[in-house]
């Protein structure tokens, strides 16, 4: 492929071009800060009071940005979805109810498809918030609240391709969504509930009891057992450890692969050494209602690879190791 040259015959500096684009777009977003004013306050109040859905609409590139804004709103506690304005005039207006709020995006503020459905929005008495780059446009004048997302120039050298303008619109949409998130008291656990299939959902919603080994799968020996017996149990259950319990099944200690290596270094005879003499007493434990992420935190803090799970009576009810957390997607 022939390398593109500039008008002086020199190789194009793509690094400089990329930095120029990001600088222009960053400046456009920075300019929005002074526009977070009473109009922004009013827009948030309207959207927060919405009893239905926030209906986001926009054409072309604004439509793509609108889809992202709707998704961000929905995932952060403000029910929302995107409606294509062209489809709205051919039946999809039925998706908008009097309980909704419409958030319209148009850089020019004169997008024909949006202007076509304005009378229908007004007839429904649905609040209209718009983001445009033209405060004197018909859409801006018709809205209950207008948010100015105008930019000095597009990052495109021809000042034509929507670049800075779409970035500014997206940033203002994020500002609205996060302001509403704060107002609703939306928590990380709330976020996880709307993302149950993602890694964050697994980290925040999965509990120890859902992944721990239970019943006969728990490696456990009596404190009177010998080291050899403990090794047999560890091999059979394949968790790299075994619980040591008293006659009431209460936990008194743990013996792990690491303990075994240290024991072998001492030259102890596995056939005569009592496990209680070499176990780790007062070991770290988890409870079944604990989040799996909390169990991971304990393992990382104390540099261990396995945990026993006990109940309020200190009886062993489960066991898990780092591999269990990896399989569950917590790590």
pLDDT tens, residue by residue, 117-174: 999 999 999 999 999 999 999 999 999 999 999 999 999 888 889 999 999 999 999 9
Q: How confident is the model at residue 261 (pLDDT cuts 50, 70, 90)?
A: confident
| Burial bucket for residue 117 (CB in 10 Å: 0-12, 13-18, 19+) | buried
pLDDT, position 201: 61
Is there a domain that residue 23 lies in?
yes
pLDDT, position 66: 96
Residues 231, 148 within the same domain:
no
Is there a domain that residue 43 lies in?
yes
CATH number at residue 147: 3.40.50.10490
Residues 134, 26 within the same domain:
yes
The token pair that represents 174 in the structure block: 């994020």
pLDDT, position 158: 87
pTM, rounded to two decimals: 0.65
Residues 28, 107 within the same domain:
yes
Domain encompassing residue 97? 14-186
Task: Report pLDDT digits (tens) over 272-315.
Answer: 899 999 999 999 999 999 888 889 999 999 999 999 999 999 99
> Average pLDDT, whole number, for the chain?
90
Buried/exposed code over 16-27 (b: 16+ C-beta within 10 A; e: otherwise): eeeeebeebbee
Residues 117, 265 within the same domain:
no
Residues 141, 259 within the same domain:
no
Q: Residue 147's closest CA among 240, 69, 49, 258?
A: 69
Residues 249, 181 within the same domain:
no
Q: Give 160's DSSP letter.
A: -
Is there a domain that residue 170 lies in?
yes
Q: Report how far Cα 225 is from the mean position of its chain's Cα atoms.
A: 48
Choosing from 154, 186, 218, the residue where a domain stops is 186
Secondary structure of residue 181 in the 3-state scheme: helix
Q: How confident is the model at residue 227 (pLDDT cuts 50, 70, 90)?
A: very high
Task: Say if residues 220 and 243 touch (Cβ distance below 8 Å).
Answer: yes
Task: Report pLDDT digits (tens) over 162-221.
Answer: 999 999 999 999 999 999 999 988 776 666 666 555 556 666 678 899 999 999 999 999
Q: Are strands 128-132 and 285-286 parallel, antiparallel or unpaired?
A: unpaired
Residue whose token pair is 């054409």: 59
| Distance, CA of 25 to CA of 187 (rounded, Å) | 31
Task: Say if residues 288 and 317 touch (Cβ distance below 8 Å).
Answer: yes
């Amino acid at each position: 492929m022939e390398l593109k040259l500039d008008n002086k015959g020199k190789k194009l500096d793509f690094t400089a071009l990329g930095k120029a684009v990001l600088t222009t777009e960053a400046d456009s977003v920075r300019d929005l800060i002074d526009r977070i004013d009473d109009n922004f306050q009013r827009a948030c109040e309207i959207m927060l009071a919405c009893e239905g859905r926030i209906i986001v609409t926009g054409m072309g590139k604004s439509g793509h940005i609108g889809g992202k804004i709707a998704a961000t709103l929905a995932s952060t506690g403000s029910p929302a979805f995107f409606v294509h304005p062209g489809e709205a005039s051919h039946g999809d207006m039925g998706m908008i109810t009097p309980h909704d709020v419409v958030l319209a995006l148009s850089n020019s503020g004169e997008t024909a498809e949006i202007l076509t459905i304005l009378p229908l929005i007004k007839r429904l008495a649905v609040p209209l918030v718009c983001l445009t780059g033209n405060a004197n446009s018909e859409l801006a004048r018709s809205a209950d609240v207008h948010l100015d997302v105008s930019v000095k120039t597009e990052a495109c050298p021809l000042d034509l391709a929507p670049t800075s303008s779409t970035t500014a619109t997206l940033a203002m949409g994020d500002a609205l969504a996060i302001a509403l998130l704060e107002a609703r008291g939306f928590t990380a656990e709330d976020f996880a509930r709307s993302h149950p299939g993602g890694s964050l959902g697994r980290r925040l919603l999965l509990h120890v009891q859902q992944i721990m080994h239970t019943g006969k799968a728990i490696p456990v020996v009596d404190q009177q057992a010998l080291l050899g017996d403990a090794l047999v149990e560890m091999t059979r259950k394949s968790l790299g450890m075994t619980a040591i319990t008293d006659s009431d099944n209460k936990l008194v200690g743990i013996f792990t692969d690491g303990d075994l290596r240290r024991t072998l270094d001492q030259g102890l005879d596995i056939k005569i050494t009592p496990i209680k003499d070499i176990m780790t007493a007062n070991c770290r434990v988890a409870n079944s209602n604990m989040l799996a992420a909390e169990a991971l935190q304990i393992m990382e803090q104390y540099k261990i690879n396995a945990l026993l799970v006990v109940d309020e009576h200190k009886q062993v009810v489960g066991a898990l190791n780092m591999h269990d957390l990896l399989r569950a997607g917590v790590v």
